[in-house]
Amino acid sequence: MTGNVRRSGPPWSVDLLADLHAGVLDPRDEAELRAAVAHDADAQAVLRALDATVEELHNLPPIPMPRHVAERIDAALAAEARPLAPVVDLTARRRRKQLGWGAGLLAAAAVAVGVVVVSTQGNTAAPTSDQQALPTTKADTPVTHQPLAVKGNDFGPVFGDVLKAQNYGPLENQDKLAGCLQGANIVSTKPLGVSPITLDGRDAVMAVLPGGKPGAFQIVVLDPDTCGPDNPNGVLARSSITP
């Protein structure tokens, strides 16, 4: 590396200056390169820009782990904790073998408790009176999710859920959202997150937009029934989050 430092010169490569700034060079090369760029204005400007970037990153607010990521991690840890193979109760297996359970005995037991075995190969006839339809289980019922609820301007409890969503709800797509933002004189950008909510009990759509600088966000709540390119009153609430 020492030979490369001597042979290279202004303009210094950004990669080399980034290595110097990150402290990944060995001490001898670092000392030699710092001395070489000490009076180079362009190199010093790059180093100052790297300092400013690191400072901005340090000042960003902590970002909580999204709920769906935490749930996936918990599920993976739970799966790792389970045995690789099921534990077999050998005593119970020997007991069943001694009792002589077989296909015939199982079929007889099924008849005794009124269970009807239906062939699935080509039999499409309607069930007879002896073949009662099984009751609908909870798994057959579609699950409906209630919209996120917001009171006043307290968007903090739902911010993380909206940030990770891309659900335009009654607005249907990004183009209709852009039209609503246009009506409110808000620069149209792809939302970082969007989701239906209720604002004080009123149906609405909440969008999280970039705030113009690192760590900043803009929150816009729209009335999906009235917002549009020609209606500035379609915005129900606006808020901003700054670092």
Domain with 48, as residue range(s), is 2-59
Ranges 29-33, 78-82, 119-123, 180-184: which has the least confidence: 119-123
Domain boundary among 59, 74, 106: 59
Residue written as token pair 């000042």: 59
Provide the pLDDT confidence category of residue 102 given band limits of 50, 70 and 90. very low
Domain count, the chain: 2
Structural domain includes residue 178: yes
**169 versus 118: which is more confidently predicted?**
169
Question: Can you give the pLDDT at residue 8?
Answer: 56
For the ranges 7-16, 67-76, 131-140, 198-207, the one whose mean pLDDT is highest = 198-207
| Whole-number pLDDT of residue 4 | 53
Instruction: Enter the pTM of the model.
Output: 0.42
Tens of pLDDT, residues 12-68: 788 898 898 888 888 998 899 999 898 888 888 889 988 888 887 777 777 777 788
Point out the domain boundary residue: 59, 75, 90.
Answer: 59
What are all long-range contacts of 163-169, with beta carbons under 8 Å and residues at least 24 apart?
Answer: 163/66, 163/192, 163/193, 163/208, 164/66, 164/67, 164/68, 164/193, 165/193, 165/194, 165/195, 166/191, 166/193, 166/194, 167/194, 167/195, 167/196, 168/194, 168/205, 169/194, 169/195, 169/196, 169/205, 169/224
Q: Residue 198 pLDDT more than 90?
A: yes
End-to-end CA gap in the chain: 40
**Residue 75, in any domain of the structure:** no
Query: Which residues are registered as beta bridge partners of 79?
Result: none
